[in-house]
Amino acid sequence: MSFRKQLLFLLMVTPLLGLFAQEDTNTKSLRKERDMSDVIQSLSKKKQVVSTNNDSKEKKYHLSFVPALGYTLQTGFAGILSANLAYKTDTNQATKVSSISTSFTYSQYKQSIIPFLLDIWTKDNKFNIISDNRFIQYPSDIYGLGGRTDPNQGITINFSGLKLHETLLRSINKNLFVGMGFYFDNFWNIKAIDSLKRRINQRLVRTLGNDEIAAGLAFKLLYDNRLNQVNPTDGFFANMVFRPNFTFMGSQTNWQSLLIDLRGYITFPRNSKNVLSLWGLNWLTTGGTPPYLLLPSTGWDDQYNTGRGYIQGRFRGDNMYYAESEYRFRISRDGLFGGVVFLNAEKFSGEISKQFSTVAPGYGVGFRLKLNKYSGTNLCVDYGFGENGSKGFFVNLGEVF
């Protein structure tokens, strides 16, 4: 699932059902693989009853449920309940996986996060319906603009937020889609939690206000030839979104942004099951002035995944350039355990100069635990390092990119 779960794994219940366990060649090869459902089954010593009458039938709907407890830089101690429903709209093996996901997170710092995400593919991948909806009650830190901000000068603010991003894409060629949608973001009850000097508090009020609203259209161009979007082992992904916001549609100001997201996956070495993954992200303000909380920022991309090594919101600016590479390798032959090493770098334009400022590097290592061998879903626990002593755990259900 695409929404980032920044939670260090302490307690987990394996997915209840495997994804697409029909008896095709791929599924037969997966019998040599293991995931947590296999582990739970072996521990419970329950023998699986195989019915020859059902072997050729495809399961249409597959539910997974994962509760967890954990700790991260951004949340402190936190608990999460997460559910995902996955299915295909037809039996064509080329049809992409549709999914509906939701979760509830509550943290030590009184943060509440409730996403409701849809990624629906119609028959033969003709249309793709994407719905990204989130409610957040979110005390968090801000540090100013640009890449030269002081990590010791953060200000804790609290706010409520509602995100409604709806998009409809149509296939125009194999793996190529074009479409448009409507994006709405609203932040309210914005206020500082810290005791601030009057001058700083007045500046904060001028910068943020009490609420921020952005509303407008989204024009999207997508190319995606990855066979598995959950855990890609090969292929290329390119996503371009132009977002013009208009006051006549409810936005506080007129402004425009452009997002260019490029990802590539290479099996390396060629005959192995290890993968070299590359990610480049340009998040640019092309006109006007976005609300402060919607400016490009570390960990505030759609999946909240950029900038492992730094706390969410550590850097912010009018423009962001981001690059990351990650090498994913197996630890156990059966695929139950895996690992990664990663390296990233980010640059932001500041408040005064439009030129990119200091490059902020991040790096680290991670552990992978296979939750679902059919979809390739891993529990991803990473430990990242950044500059000025920044470090901590970063946890995802599903790969970071």
Rounded to whole angstroms, the Cα distance separating 226 from 210 reads 43
259: which 2 tokens?
């997002």
| Level-2 CATH architecture, domain 25-49+58-397 | Beta Barrel (2.40)
- Partners of 187 in beta bridges: 161, 212
- Residue 200's SS3 state is helix
Q: Provide Rg for the chain, Cα atoms.
A: 22
* Closest among 204, 178, 176, 182 to 192, alpha carbons compared: 204
Rounded to whole angstroms, the Cα distance separating 396 from 401 reads 10
Could you list the pLDDT tens digit for every one of the 401 residues in the chain?
443 444 444 434 433 334 333 334 455 566 688 888 788 888 876 554 444 444 444 557 777 777 877 777 788 888 888 887 878 888 777 788 888 888 899 999 899 999 999 999 998 889 999 999 999 999 888 887 776 777 877 888 899 999 999 999 999 998 999 999 999 999 999 988 866 666 666 667 777 778 999 999 999 999 999 988 889 999 999 999 999 999 999 999 999 999 999 999 999 998 899 999 999 999 999 999 999 999 999 999 988 899 999 999 999 999 999 999 999 999 999 999 999 999 999 999 865 455 556 899 999 999 999 987 877 888 888 999 999 999 998 888 789 99
Rounded to whole angstroms, the Cα distance separating 336 from 376 reads 10
Question: Helix (H) and strand (E) counts for the chain?
Answer: 3, 17
Rounded to whole angstroms, the Cα distance separating 109 from 99 reads 30
Say which amino acid occupies 214. Answer: A
pLDDT at residue number 330: 96
Rounded to whole angstroms, the Cα distance separating 277 from 300 reads 21
Say which amino acid occupies 198. Answer: R
* Closest among 222, 351, 242 to 295, alpha carbons compared: 351
Secondary structure of 257-283 as H, E, C letters: EEEEEEEEEEECCCCCCCEEEEEEEEE
Chain length of the chain: 401
145 contacts 127 by C-beta, under 8 angstroms:
no
Domain regions of the chain by residue span: 25-49+58-397
281 contacts 306 by C-beta, under 8 angstroms:
yes
CB within 8 Å of 45: residues ≥ 6 apart = none
For 53-71, letters b (16+ CB in 10 Å) and e give eeeeeebeebebebebebb
Answer whether 0.75 is exceeded by the pTM: yes
Map tokens 């919607």 to a residue: 294
